[in-house]
Amino acid sequence: MSESAPETFSSPRGSKRIELKFSENQIIERAIDRDEEAMGYIYEEYSPLVWSLALRYTGNQSLAEDASAAVFIRLFKNLHKFRGESAFKTWLYRLSINTIINYGRREKKFRAGELFENHLGEGDKTEEIEARDLVQRLLKKLPRRDEKLIIMREMEGMTYQEIANISNLKLSTVKTRIFRARLKLRKLYEEEV
């Protein structure tokens, strides 16, 4: 883990937690030793990111909770593997997207859920939900690697450079792979419609 100058991390979104005057690296080291406060800090800091990804990917509160829980349990088990070669957030995002996609693929009854329906107007519900379900199904027919890239680019709205950082790939490779993934997705769409 790389050494960085300690800085103060204030309590995100809230007041309940005690303010920790440690660098993020120090917090991570404490969490590896199962320090409850440090683990709580990591949860508070990053749960909105994980939750948002899981919720948008599943469109279902219950599935999103299962997937998010799987991410954090895996995170705390594997925290010692974080070597500081990338930003912690990048490392966490990589772990989150892998876990959530794996979870989604295992879930047999996976479909666009009630949350998505609640966000639509009465008139466009059926068409939008059908389109969402279709794309969701087609995404799962892509190789995992392609599905992950499409989610990061289209669902999460990341830049190619951000995706390259998370995926440990060259920028040009990311562009080529996303281009090919889009073509594959389009081919699947044509076969389906």
Partner 1 sequence: MTCSNKNLNKYIDGDLEPAAEKKLLSHLKVCPTCANTLKSMEKMIGVLRNIPDYDRSPPQSLRRRVLGETAKTRDGAALLKLGLTLATFMIIVGFFFLFTGDKKASEILEYSAAKLQDIYGETEEISSYYEDELFTAIVMMIDY
Work out whether the CA dihedral 134, 140, 146, 148 comes out positive or negative: positive
Closest-CA residue to 69 (of 109, 77, 145): 77
Closest-CA residue to 153 (of 144, 145, 162): 162
Q: Which stretch binds partner 1 (CB under 8 A): 2-10, 21-29, 89-97, 175-183?
A: 175-183
Measured in degrees and rounded to the nearest 5, phi and psi for residue 164 equal -60, -40
Closest-CA residue to 173 (of 164, 165, 182): 164
116 binds partner 1 (CB under 8 A): yes
140 binds partner 1 (CB under 8 A): no
53 binds partner 1 (CB under 8 A): no
47 binds partner 1 (CB under 8 A): yes
190 binds partner 1 (CB under 8 A): yes
Distance CA 167, CA 94 (A): 7
144 binds partner 1 (CB under 8 A): no
174 binds partner 1 (CB under 8 A): no
Closest-CA residue to 74 (of 52, 105, 101): 101
Residues found near partner 1 in the complex (CB under 8 A): 13, 34, 36, 39-40, 43, 47-48, 50-52, 55-56, 59, 61, 65, 68-69, 72-73, 76, 115-116, 119, 128, 131-132, 135, 138, 150-151, 154-155, 157, 178-179, 182-183, 185-186, 189-190, 193
